[in-house]
Amino acid sequence: MDGRVLLVEDDASIREVTALGLRRAGFRVSTAVDGRAALAAWRAQPVDLIVLDVMLPGLDGLEVCREIRRSSQVPILMLTARADTIDVVVGLECGADDYLRKPFDLPELVARVRVALRRGDTGPTEPVLTVGPLEVDPGRFVARRDGRELTLTATEFRLLLELARRPGQVFTRELLLDRVWRLTHLGDSRLVDVAVQRLRAKVDHDPAAPRLVRTVRGVGYKLDPA
């Protein structure tokens, strides 16, 4: 795997060590030291994934993530030194695909980057899936509702695809972490909850009273075929 990664980190020592570790893992890495430099680098040269620190001088990582999400669904993995749950949730709600708390181990970061880059790992012969008003096309990595293409991140698409493969089946959070993020032993159930919230906002007409992506209290989530 030789994906192109933009690493955004203002701490020079962390930036250098992390960039070296990613390069040794086979990635092509460019770096930025603050939020404005990150946006300039992203606009100047396309990348396959962004590793984005939350605490940046000037323009913080959350604002950078929001700006990128206005026009791109490139996978974003956020780094945070904060332990508060609310900061993690805000980052995910801004459109990040995953997060990792500092200090982190390089092998864990590399594992998460590899998972996030597996955008089209869905099986080339899998047919288009139809569930109610939804059409999910694994080969083209496209989903539609009532014929209108949905703007989904890679993680949101994989989540919808997993649910659509077995409409009506209830998926636990742990099972979705394994199937969608492939991070059973590294993951956090908040990844699932926030991703479901974001997916609902795009596929359900009324996310507050969802009719497609349903919660099964105490168990998990399902895609309702009715």
Considering the chain, tell me which residue range(s) the CATH 3.40.50.2300 domain(s) occupy: 4-117
Considering the chain, tell me which residue range(s) the CATH 1.10.10.10 domain(s) occupy: 129-223
**DSSP bridge pairs for 214:** 222
CB atoms inside a 10 Å sphere around CB 117:
19
> Residue 119: its pLDDT value, please?
57
Greater model confidence, 153 or 18: 18
Q: Is the pLDDT of residue 2 over 80?
A: no
110 pLDDT tier (thresholds 50, 70, 90): very high
Burial zone of 102 (CB within 10 Å; 0-12 exposed, 13-18 middle, 19+ buried): middle
> Residue 214: its pLDDT value, please?
95
217 pLDDT tier (thresholds 50, 70, 90): very high
Q: Is the pLDDT of residue 184 over 60?
A: no
Range 19-36 average pLDDT: 96
The 10s digit of each residue's pLDDT in 125-151 is 679 999 999 999 988 889 999 999 999
The 10s digit of each residue's pLDDT in 56-99 is 998 999 999 999 999 998 999 999 887 666 777 788 888 898 88
Q: Is the pLDDT of residue 123 over 60?
A: no
Give the tokens for residue 158. 């994989």
Q: 3-state DSSP call for residue 201? A: helix
Q: Is the pLDDT of residue 198 over 70?
A: yes
22 pLDDT tier (thresholds 50, 70, 90): very high
Range 28-56 average pLDDT: 96
Which residues are CB-contacts of 49 (< 8 A; sequence separation ≥ 6)?
Answer: 3, 4, 5, 6, 74, 75, 76, 77, 113, 116, 117
Nearest to 170 by CA among 220, 104, 114, 101: 220
Q: What is the pTM of this model?
A: 0.77
Percent of the chain at pLDDT exceeding 70: 92
Q: 3-state DSSP call for residue 79? A: strand
Pick the CATH number of 129-223 from 3.90.180.10, 1.10.10.10, 1.10.3660.10, 3.40.718.10: 1.10.10.10
Check whether domain 4-117 has CATH 3.40.50.300, yes or no: no
Note the helical H segments in the chain: 12-24, 35-44, 61-69, 85-93, 106-117, 154-165, 173-176, 189-203
- Residue 50 sits at the vertex; the CA angle it makes with 189 and 66, to the nearest 5 degrees, is 75
DSSP calls for 88-150: HHHHHHTT-SEEEESS--HHHHHHHHHHHH-TT-S-TTPPPEEETTEEEETTTTEEEETTEEP
204 pLDDT tier (thresholds 50, 70, 90): very high
> Residue 6: its pLDDT value, please?
98
Q: Is the pLDDT of residue 187 over 60?
A: no
